[in-house]
Amino acid sequence: MEKEIIRIDGVSKVYRVGDVTFYGLKRIDMTIYRGDFIAIMGPSGSGKTTLLNIIGLLDRPSSGRVFIDGIDVSALNDRQLARIRNIKLGFVFQYFNLINRLTVLENIEMPLVARGIPKNKRIELAKEALIRVGGELSWLLKKPLQLSGGQQQKVAIARAIVGSPEIVLADEPTGNLDRASAKTVINTFTELNKYGHTIIVVTHDPEVANCTRKIFMIRDGVVVDIRIPEVDKCILKM
């Protein structure tokens, strides 16, 4: 039987801007199973990033509950949340979010530093992760801005997976990439998924969404449809 890894239970996010209250998410329910490969699609402003940030414990819901591996995370304090984020979750962002004054190696190592893993082991794991995403070891001592956008995104994905998180969350990971780099990114996610990682990708791109195994369509803060991807329209087949 499929085992659930994430459950979103009646989650709302309310924003108050001046006198106006407004729902970023409206009582969303969602279950994600271990080993799933999910796309979240929807128009701009529909709540995709808000939802991903709540799943990723970067933001808290206004109401409703979030369970990660059966743990009700609403009961946890910021330190406990940070720990779960570090151990279970890896993040990939549209604008890479690398730290430009650090080297590529130091960027990739970062989640391991927080875990107290010794330097030698960190370097070994960072190299492994970079190779796994199709990067090159010659980048390790460079600064991110000395790399192209596609190369920076590979570094960002290496950082996301270096600690072998069970769940990888990616917000428009191909939004700033050309088709070839986008293909590499999706290929990497597909490989990670084969090894059992649960992957959740927010995307505007149907050629990306069609490479996943389930597409949640979001509009105005609610899930309006769940679709089965059309595999022959996956970017990897193009």
Ligand X SMILES: Nc1ncnc2c1ncn2[C@@H]1O[C@H](COP(=O)(O)OP(=O)(O)OP(=O)(O)O)[C@@H](O)[C@H]1O
Contacts with ligand X by CB under 6 A lie at 15, 17, 24, 42, 44-50
| CB of 95 vs ligand X, minimal distance in Å | 11
Report what 195 binds from ligand X, Mg ion, none; CB cut-off 5-8 Å by kind.
none
Nearer to ligand X, 47 or 150 (CB): 47
Q: Is 203 near Mg ion (CB under 5 A)?
A: no
Nearer to ligand X, 46 or 210 (CB): 46
Nearer to Mg ion, 22 or 195 (CB): 22
Nearer to ligand X, 129 or 170 (CB): 170
Report what 198 binds from Mg ion, ligand X, none; CB cut-off 5-8 Å by kind.
none
| CB of 176 vs ligand X, minimal distance in Å | 13
Q: Is 49 near Mg ion (CB under 5 A)?
A: yes
Query: Strand pairing of 167-171 and 89-92?
Result: parallel
Q: What is the DSSP letter of 92?
A: E
Report what 144 binds from Mg ion, ligand X, none; CB cut-off 5-8 Å by kind.
none
Q: Which of 145, 138, 3, 162 is nearest to 68 (CA)?
A: 3
In angstroms, rounded to a whole number, what is the distance separating the alpha carbons of residues 162 and 128? 8
| CB of 15 vs ligand X, minimal distance in Å | 4
Q: Which of 79, 91, 26 is nearest to 55 (CA)?
A: 91
Report what 24 binds from Mg ion, ligand X, none; CB cut-off 5-8 Å by kind.
ligand X
Q: At what angle do helices 149-161 and 119-132 cross, to 10 degrees?
A: 130
Helices (H), 1-136: 48-55, 78-88, 104-113, 119-132
In angstroms, rounded to a whole number, what is the distance separating the alpha carbons of residues 139 and 156? 13
Nearer to ligand X, 24 or 111 (CB): 24
Query: Strand pairing of 63-68 and 89-92?
Result: unpaired
Kindly list the residues in this chain that would bind Mg ion in the complex (CB under 5 A): 49
